[in-house]
Amino acid sequence: MGELVLLERRDDGVAVVTLNNPKVNALSQAVLAELRAVAEGLASDPPGAVVITGGERIFAAGADISEFGGPSEGRAIGEGFHHALDAVAAIPRFVIAAVSGYALGGGCELALACDYRIVSERAVFGQPEILLGIIPGGGGTQRLPRAVGASRAKELMITGRQVKADEALAIGLADEVVAPEAFVQNKRGAHASVVAATPCPLPHGDDCGDGGAPPRRDHPACCRSFPASLTSISCRERGTCSRRTLAVHQTLSSLKKLPLGPAETTSSPSGS
């Protein structure tokens, strides 16, 4: 087990997966590789239920933009996201995202790859990739419409605006909102403990509405209104995102050369 993604298998049958990449839980390639390995391990030796969580202020901030480069780097990042999040989606048990604070970009996509999202009143969701000139590259173009509907998903991805907990609940991006003090209990798997103790049949393949994707747990028949395979469309999503990361890389490189003001003509912008 790595240091960036922590796994705790509890005696009550619940596995708690914690993202541990301070300060903002950026989903770097190293984090995604560990998350994929943990998810594949849980798939091969399933617990009763799974809880995926992050920090109190930030669930996950999305991709590590310091890794952005040309199309080849973008392709690697996209593939890393898809491999990791598809592995989470393929865990043959009920998977709960316990979200406190910000779940942006890839962080939102990770939450969407789970079956159920319990969120703190402080939670904030968003797909802000458009503000960098790219599109969601970790399955968000497919999983977000399945959660909130096509029109709302388009609006969120085109504007890049952020959604607070109450609105997330209203539009279907969150399934339950709890007070911060109650969130700690849910983060530790209160709901998952009940699920782990309740055996249930699992749908497979074509029965799950994902166009023959890996076995899922809870996809209702309404998912069939999105007949295209997640796998096939995700290939196009990765291709578009990888090409656009070159432009982002060039923009960020240009920003590093710009002066901040008369008194800071030789300094680099903060966060570079």
Structure tokens at 230: 């997640």
The residue annotated as part of the active site, out of 106, 137, 139, 140, is 106
Backbone angle region of 105, left / alpha / beta, with phi > 0 → left and psi within -120 to 50 → alpha: left
63 is catalytic: yes
Q: Which of 34, 67, 109, 237 is catalytic?
A: 109
Annotated catalytic residue within 129, 165, 189, 196: 129
Spell out the residues 6+ positions from residue 62 whose beta carbon is closer than 8 angstroms to its own. Answer: 26, 27, 104, 105, 106, 107, 108, 128, 129
* CA 85 to chain centroid: 7
Is 129 an annotated catalytic residue? yes
H/E element, 80: helix 71-89
Residue 6: CB atoms within 10 A of its CB come to 15
The answer to whether residues 53 and 88 touch, using CB atoms and an 8 Å cutoff, is no
> Can you tell me the distance from the alpha carbon of 85 to that of 217, in angstroms, rounded to the nearest whole number?
15
Sequence-ordered list of residues with C-beta below 8 angstroms from that of 78, at least 6 positions apart, any chain: 137, 138, 237, 238, 241, 242
- 123 DSSP β-pair partners: none
> Out of 39, 60, 63, 192, which one is annotated catalytic?
63
Mind telling me the catalytic residues? 63, 106, 109, 129
